[in-house]
Structure 1
Amino acid sequence: MHTTGTRFAVLLMASSLGLTAHAESAGSVYTLERAIDQALAGNPELSILQARIEQANAQLGEALASFYPQVKASLSYQHSDNPAQAFAMIIAQRRLDFNSGDFNHPGGVDNYRPQVTASYSLFRGGRDYYLGKAAELGVEASELEKSALRNHLLNNVTAAYYGELAAVAAHKVSIGAVDAVDSELRQSRLRYEAGTLLKSEVLSLEVQLAEAKDAEIQAANAIELAQNMLKTLLGLGAGEPLSIAEAEAALPATPAAYDELLNQARTHPELQAAQKRVEIAERQLSAAQGAHLPRADAYVSYGSDSRDLAFSANRDNVTAGVTVELDLFSGFATQERIKKAEHELIAAQEAARQTRLRIENELHSARLKLSEALNRVQVAGVAVLAAEEALRQVSEQYQVGVVTVTRYIEAEVARDKAHTRQINARYDALRADAELKQAYGAWQ
Structure 2
Amino acid sequence: MNKWSNKNRPWFFALLFLWMLCTASPAGATGDEGLQPLSLHDAFVKALENNPMLQQAQATTKKADAQVGQAFSAFLPKVNLDLGYMHTNNPVMSFSNKLNQAAFTQADFQIDRLNHPDYRDNWEYKFVFMQPIFNQGQEYIGYKTSKLAKAISDLGYSQTAQSVLFMVEQAYCQALLAEEKVGVLRTAYKTASLHETLARRRYEAGLVLKSDLLSAQVQKTKVERQLFKAESDYLIALAALNNAMGVDQGLKWHIQRIDFESSDERELDYWLKIAKEHRPEYQMAQKQLKIADYLHKQALFKFLPSFNLVGIYQGDRQNLAYFGGDSWTLMANMTINIFNGFGDRAGVSAANADRQRAAARLRQVEQAIELEVRQAYYRFQTAKKQLKVARQAVKQAKESQKILRNRYSNGLALMVELLSADTTVKETSLEEAAARFDARLAWSELRRKAGVLGQDIIVRFKDKAQR
Say which SS state the counterpart of residue 97 (structure 2) adopts: helix
Provide the C-alpha distance between the structure 2 equivalents of 1:7 and 1:387, rounded to a whole number of angstroms.
21
- Conserved in 1, the CA contact under 8 Å of 2:32 and 2:254? no
Deviation at 1:333, TM superposition (A): 6.9
Q: Which amino acid aligns with 1:88?
A: S
Provide the C-alpha distance between the structure 2 equivalents of 1:278 and 1:7, rounded to a whole number of angstroms.
70
Matches within 5 A, 1:27-426: 28-100=36-108, 101=110, 102=112, 103-239=114-250, 241-247=251-257, 249=259, 251-267=261-277, 268-310=279-321, 312=323, 315-326=325-336, 345=355, 348-426=358-436
- Conserved in 1, the CA contact under 8 Å of 2:260 and 2:439? no
- Conserved in 1, the CA contact under 8 Å of 2:19 and 2:190? no
Give unpaired runs (5+ residues) of structure 1. Answer: none
Say which SS state the counterpart of residue 17 (structure 1) adopts: coil
Provide the C-alpha distance between the structure 2 equivalents of 1:431 and 1:12, rounded to a whole number of angstroms.
28
Deviation at 1:285, TM superposition (A): 4.0
Say which SS state the counterpart of residue 22 (structure 1) adopts: coil
Q: Which amino acid aligns with 2:81?
A: A
TM-score (norm 2): 0.85
The RMSD of aligned alpha carbons is 2.7
| Alpha-carbon spacing, 1:72–1:264, altered in 2? closer, same or farther (3 Å) | same
Q: Deviations over 1:256-300 (max 9, x none)?
A: 211111001112222112222232233234334534433222101
| Alpha-carbon spacing, 1:254–1:58, altered in 2? closer, same or farther (3 Å) | closer
Deviation at 1:407, TM superposition (A): 0.9
- Which residue of 2, 17, 28 maps to 1:17? 28
Q: Which amino acid aligns with 1:417?
A: E
| Alpha-carbon spacing, 1:389–1:358, altered in 2? closer, same or farther (3 Å) | same
| Alpha-carbon spacing, 1:391–1:385, altered in 2? closer, same or farther (3 Å) | same
Provide the C-alpha distance between the structure 2 equivalents of 1:218 and 1:16, rounded to a whole number of angstroms.
19
Deviation at 1:109, TM superposition (A): 2.3
- Conserved in 2, the CA contact under 8 Å of 1:32 and 1:158? yes
Deviation at 1:345, TM superposition (A): 4.6
Deviation at 1:437, TM superposition (A): 1.0
Q: Which amino acid aligns with 2:82?
A: S
Deviation at 1:439, TM superposition (A): 1.1
- Conserved in 2, the CA contact under 8 Å of 1:295 and 1:325? yes
- Conserved in 2, the CA contact under 8 Å of 1:56 and 1:139? yes
Provide the C-alpha distance between the structure 2 equivalents of 1:362 and 1:7, rounded to a whole number of angstroms.
51
Of 281-290 and 257-266, deviating more is 281-290
Q: How many residues align?
A: 439
Q: Percent identity?
A: 26
| Alpha-carbon spacing, 1:259–1:248, altered in 2? closer, same or farther (3 Å) | closer
Deviation at 1:423, TM superposition (A): 2.0
Say which SS state the counterpart of residue 411 (structure 2) adopts: coil
Say which SS state the counterpart of residue 107 (structure 2) adopts: coil
- Conserved in 2, the CA contact under 8 Å of 1:127 and 1:288? no
Say which SS state the counterpart of residue 317 (structure 2) adopts: coil
Provide the C-alpha distance between the structure 2 equivalents of 1:142 and 1:361, rounded to a whole number of angstroms.
25
Q: Which amino acid aligns with 1:413?
A: T
Give unpaired runs (5+ residues) of structure 2. Answer: 1-11, 456-467
Q: Deviations over 1:393-417 (max 9, x none)?
A: 2122111101011111212222222
Deviation at 1:209, TM superposition (A): 2.8
- Conserved in 1, the CA contact under 8 Å of 2:166 and 2:444? yes
Provide the C-alpha distance between the structure 2 equivalents of 1:32 and 1:324, rounded to a whole number of angstroms.
63
Provide the C-alpha distance between the structure 2 equivalents of 1:289 and 1:156, rounded to a whole number of angstroms.
46
Of 30-39 and 341-350, deviating more is 341-350
Q: Which amino acid aligns with 1:52?
A: T
Provide the C-alpha distance between the structure 1 equivalents of 2:320 and 2:20, rounded to a whole number of angstroms.
96
Deviation at 1:217, TM superposition (A): 3.3
Provide the C-alpha distance between the structure 1 equivalents of 2:344 and 2:17, rounded to a whole number of angstroms.
82
- Conserved in 1, the CA contact under 8 Å of 2:29 and 2:183? no
Deviation at 1:55, TM superposition (A): 0.2
Say which SS state the counterpart of residue 239 (structure 2) adopts: helix
